[in-house]
Amino acid sequence: MESILAKPVFVVGSPRSGTSILTWCLGHHSNLFPVPESSWMGDFAVNVAIAYQIGAARDDYSILSAMEIRADELFAAFGQSINGLILRHRKDLETKRETRTIERKIEPRWLEATSTAAGPKRRWVDGTPEYSMHICGLRKLFPEARFVHLVRDVQAVVLSMLNFHRATGIQLVANEEDAYRYWMRTVRACLLAEQAYGPSVVRRISYADLIDQPDATMRSLLEFLGEPYEEKCLAPLELRINSSDVPAEFKVDGPPANPKVVDEAMQLSGLLERTPPATDPSLNAADEIEATFRERVRYMATVDSAYQRSQQVIESLNKSAPVTPAAKLSSQRL
């Protein structure tokens, strides 16, 4: 397969904000296909940064620095390879999806527009909510990537998070306060990315607009992605997959959230409604998001070193510890 410029689309935002349904909507486009939530690429970018530090640590005595291979080159090379792998293995994904459709009795028409029969499709779309925290690293891997920040009312999201385990058996959050904090953490990370990279890289979309004004919202979104408008992208909205709606009779279990946390979240939600996205990138925000990424890299590199040191200490203590009669007897029995 010819090398195709990596231009993936990442749908980010808090879980239960509609990231899955928007991913499927975009996946119905003739040039985009949806992939399962990947989850691993954010940490992979951190590991690439750690590897680069090691590979360039001794100047001319290290291969990367001696050959003047820059960090951005290394990141982009890995990103291009990942893109090629995903495009080449699209048929394998389709085969597995067809099998699951039969097993779970899912409406097969959801796969028609995303299948290889729909066309070659040179881009893919990933709707992993956790990537809200990894936008900086993903941009390093995929410099031409585009990010769609999907925003939903915080109270609706919190209720949906708390109700999620009833429908799936999976508990997203421990309690109401955790849900509010989770929403704020992801939304703030996405807002920082909006400010750092500007509207040509990160586009904010309202969940309410997607539901109430689907045609206009999808036209605007596809224009942002540089793709022609196609009405079939609206088809999944007719029957929402994995709907995040909550039954009217749903009651929240557990302790109520701290009123200060709720107020903080409500203020942020109101700010999103009142304030349009920034029109130009901010150097201060770019510095902040880059510093956050570097801190994550430093932390992960330190965690590994600290773990190795702790194992050495434990091993040393075990060797120097006196052998009691009981321990000696136990050893003889083994």
For residue range 212-227, list pLDDT tens digits in order. 999 999 999 999 999 9
The predicted structure's pLDDT at residue 204: 97
Residue 248 has pLDDT above 80, yes or no: no
Q: What is the mean pLDDT of the chain?
A: 88
Q: Mind listing the pLDDT tens digit for each residue in 138-155?
A: 999 999 999 999 999 999
Residue 249 has pLDDT above 90, yes or no: no
* CA distances for 164 relative to 161, 172, 176, 277, angstroms: 5, 7, 12, 30
Taking a C-beta distance cutoff of 8 angstroms, is the pair 228, 222 a contact?
Answer: yes
Distance between CA atoms of residues 205 and 11, nearest Å: 10
Residue 309 has pLDDT above 90, yes or no: no
Q: Mind listing the pLDDT tens digit for each residue in 88-115?
A: 999 998 888 888 776 666 666 667 777 8
Element (H, E) at 9: strand 9-12
Taking a C-beta distance cutoff of 8 angstroms, is the pair 195, 189 a contact?
Answer: no
Distance between CA atoms of residues 224 and 200, nearest Å: 7
The predicted structure's pLDDT at residue 167: 67
Of 14, 165, 157, 140, which Cα lies nearest the Cα of 78? 140
Query: Which residues, in sequence order, are bridge partners of residue 124?
Result: 33
- 126-151 core/surface letters (b: 16 or more CB in 10 A; e: else): bbbbebbbbbbbbbbbbbebbbbbbb
Residue 243 has pLDDT above 90, yes or no: no
Q: Which residue has the tokens 């009142």?
A: 274
What's the mean pLDDT in 13-23? Answer: 94
Domains recognised in the chain with CATH numbers? 9-309 (3.40.50)
The predicted structure's pLDDT at residue 106: 62
The larger pLDDT score, comparing residue 136 to residue 59, is at 136
The predicted structure's pLDDT at residue 226: 98
Whole-number percent of the chain with pLDDT over 90: 64
Structure tokens at 163: 């109700």
Q: Name the pTM for this structure.
A: 0.87
Of 254, 259, 266, 244, which Cα lies nearest the Cα of 176? 254
Residues 6+ apart with CB under 8 A from 240: 21
